[in-house]
Amino acid sequence: MTAPTPVLEIDAVSYRYGDRVALNNVSLKVMRGDVFALLGPNGAGKSTLIRTLCGRLRPTTGTVLVYGGNPARSRAARGCIGLVPQDIALYPYMTVAENLSVFGRLAGIRGARLVTMVDQAVTATGLEDRVDQRVETLSGGYKRRANIASALLHAPKLLVLDEPTVGVDLDARNSINAVLRSLSESGMSVLITTHDLDQAASVASSVGIIVQGQVIETGAPDDLVAQRFGDDQELVLLLAEPAHPGVAALLTDRGFKSLEEGRHWRGRLPSEGPGVDTLTSELVSAGARLRETRVRQPGLDSLYADLTGESEVA
């Protein structure tokens, strides 16, 4: 049986800005119906990778294929992509329906098909009761949904979203996640960059972690966490004050990492070995003042912190 063709295939892509390497031998695949979350610190290369896969930059080396075509050269390949930028790219004084009609015409859609595609985009993003409102009157979450709707008008195969939940409240984030899940279930592939690890854990079928231009891990979140941590648990410590050198040395020797000015530490609690009581006793003996101790199952945030040394995505 022939293996399915990836919707997006990035193979050994590097990109340089002068002497600076922005992408370094990046490879990843996004299959039909995947929701792929790209995570990484500021300056890691996320924006450069998005511009490259959308055909706006040509890689220095390597290949990018969208449905088998090179988006930097093929209009058909670019037509398979719907891009949702972080900034709201809508006319604020127009209604949602007027915006979608304008963007549909700019995409070359006319007549009855335009009406159909606008209706489908409105339904897909849950905007039925907002179509006649001016964009400037919408909440942040509804503006985000309208932004997504405008990228769906030409029925893309791959939807690319840059920070789709930035600046929105929890209810709006959950609504956007529901839209992305529904699009995925319909067969559309989705790639998001996000600073929101909770969102990535909730909605992504696959993640990629990019650091200094290199994608260092890709895969299903649960699989990556299991491979990294096995049966170990995670121990999160909050100290009353920054750890003095003796306490910091003890924690560092145990593999803990400081995530917040020496007060917040995160590390593994091995399934076989000294337990939390032993470690906390050693810390108190070393002069640490513990404010909070939490034992938890490792999650995507644990994996991200372990790989990057950061407690959250920038």
Determine the pLDDT at residue 314.
Answer: 41
Q: What is the pLDDT of residues 186-213, one digit of tens each?
A: 999 999 998 888 889 999 999 999 999 9
Query: From the centroid of its chain, how far is CA 245?
Result: 36
What's residue 312's pLDDT? 54
Contact 28/86 with Cβ under 8 angstroms? no
* CB-based contact 271:230 (threshold 8 Å): yes
Higher local confidence (pLDDT), 116 or 278: 116
The CA distance from 96 to 81, in Å, is 21
The mean per-residue pLDDT over the stretch 286-310 comes to: 88
Contact assessment for residue 265 and residue 302, using Cβ atoms and an 8 Å cutoff: no
Q: What per-residue confidence (pLDDT) applies to 307?
A: 87
User: For 207-235, how does the pLDDT look when each residue is reduced to its tens digit (9 = 90+)?
Assistant: 999 999 999 999 999 999 999 999 889 99
Of 275 and 169, the one with more pLDDT: 169
Residue from 228, 239, 229, 217 nearest 294 by CA = 239
Greatest Cα-to-Cα distance within the chain, rounded to the nearest angstrom: 77
Nearest residue to 217 (alpha-carbon basis) of 301, 304, 305, 299: 304
Whole-prediction pTM value?
0.90
Average pLDDT for 137-160 = 97
Comparing 76 with 310, which gets the higher pLDDT?
A: 76
In this prediction, residue 96 carries a pLDDT of: 98
Mean predicted confidence (pLDDT) in 168-181: 93
In which residue are the tokens 């039909």 written?
A: 32
Residue with tokens 């309208």: 146
Residue indicated by tokens 């979608």: 100
- Residue 95 identity: T
pLDDT of residue 306: 84
Q: Is the pLDDT of residue 1 over 60?
A: no
Looking at the chain, the whole-number percentage of residues with pLDDT higher than 70 is: 97
Task: Tell me the C-alpha distance between 156 and 151, whole Å.
Answer: 8
CA 83, CA 91: separation in Å to the nearest integer? 17
| Predicted pLDDT of residue 257 | 86
**91-107 per-position pLDDT tens digit:** 999 999 999 999 999 99
- The total of other beta-carbon atoms located within 10 Å of residue 70's CB is 15
The alpha carbon torsion through 157, 223, 43, 66 (nearest 10 deg) reads -20
- Residue pair 154/79 in contact (Cβ under 8 Å)? The answer is yes
- The pLDDT of 275-287, averaged and rounded, is 88
* Residue 283 in this model has a pLDDT that exceeds 50: yes
18-76: pLDDT as tens digits? 889 999 999 999 999 999 999 998 889 999 999 999 999 999 999 999 999 999 999 99
Q: Is 234 exposed, middle or buried (0-12, 13-18, 19+ CB in 10 A)?
A: buried
d(CA 301, CA 40): 12
> Which residue bears the tokens 């088998």?
68
pLDDT interval class at 276 (50, 70, 90): confident
Decide if pLDDT at 305 tops 70. Answer: yes
Average pLDDT, the chain: 92
CA distance linking residue 294 with residue 276, whole number of Å: 9
What is the DSSP secondary structure assignment for residue 232, as one 8-state letter?
Answer: -
The CA–CA distances, whole Å, from 75 to 51, 64, 128, 187 equal: 15, 14, 32, 22
**Residues 160, 181 contacting (CB under 8 angstroms):** no
pLDDT at 42: 85
